[in-house]
Amino acid sequence: MTLRLPAAALTLALAAYAAIPSGFISIFNGRNIAGWHISMTNHHGDTSEWRIIDGAITGTQLPDGNGGILLTDDKYGDFELYVEVNPDFGCDSGLFLRSNEAGQAYQVMLDYLEGGNIGGVYGERLQGVETTFSRGWEDVWKKGDWNAIRVRMEGEKPHIQVWLNGKQITDFQDTANHAAGGAREGMIAVQVHGGSRWVKGGYHRFRNLAVKRLD
């Protein structure tokens, strides 16, 4: 039997695929979390509330406020990451870069809540990383819609650049390699923050995740 998609559905499917920039390789198939895993530690919580809804990884807290991280199986050193995000207001999240299993990582902040920051760089359980906030993200952020984030990370002393909807909002240069154990590569992860920095019943959504290796 041949399965035929309605023209409108086919157009939407192709549009979603085409959103990934040329030269990038998809790391999420849009159907399940093959190639990803929930952290085997509980440093960030152990929420199992990761669902695939409308082709997006969708995360939320457990009823008790427990958060967690979802990591790639593969590790990356120097790379570019592309992802589209659409969080509910009040949700604190992040993109973990060169992460270990425990979630020690350079983090690109996705703190979409009062006083939060999108696109800044933070040392997640790392010593010595100077927190750097992005500039002008509010000018290009699309409320209630999908927002394209592109991250470039390279170098022994990590140089991290972030673009939001085509505008560069962060240019971070570390003074040393502060990754756990001096690691030059690690996993990519998405986060659901635990505790009070998450609106009750809120969701963070990630789609069209793709990577371009630079090493």
Q: pLDDT band at 13, cuts 50/70/90?
A: very low
Question: Mind listing the domains of the chain with CATH numbers?
Answer: 7-213 (2.60.120.560)
Q: What amino acid is encoded at 38 in this protein?
A: I
Q: To the nearest whole number, what is the mean pLDDT of the chain?
A: 92
For 155-171, write each residue's pLDDT tens digit. 999 999 999 999 999 99
Would you state the pLDDT for residue 12?
Answer: 44
pLDDT over 50 at 97, yes or no: yes
pLDDT over 90 at 16, yes or no: no
Rg (C-alpha) for the chain, rounded Å, is: 17
Contact at 8 Å (CB) between 56 and 207? yes
Give the full edge-to-edge strand order of the sheet including 36-38. 36-38, 68-72, 187-192, 91-99, 105-112, 118-124
Instruction: Say how many residues make up the chain.
Output: 215
Would you state the pLDDT for residue 17?
Answer: 44
**How far is C-alpha 12 from the geometric centre of its chain's CA atoms?**
23
Q: What amino acid is encoded at 168 in this protein?
A: Q
For 19-68, write each residue's pLDDT tens digit. 899 999 999 999 999 999 999 988 787 788 899 999 999 999 999 999 99
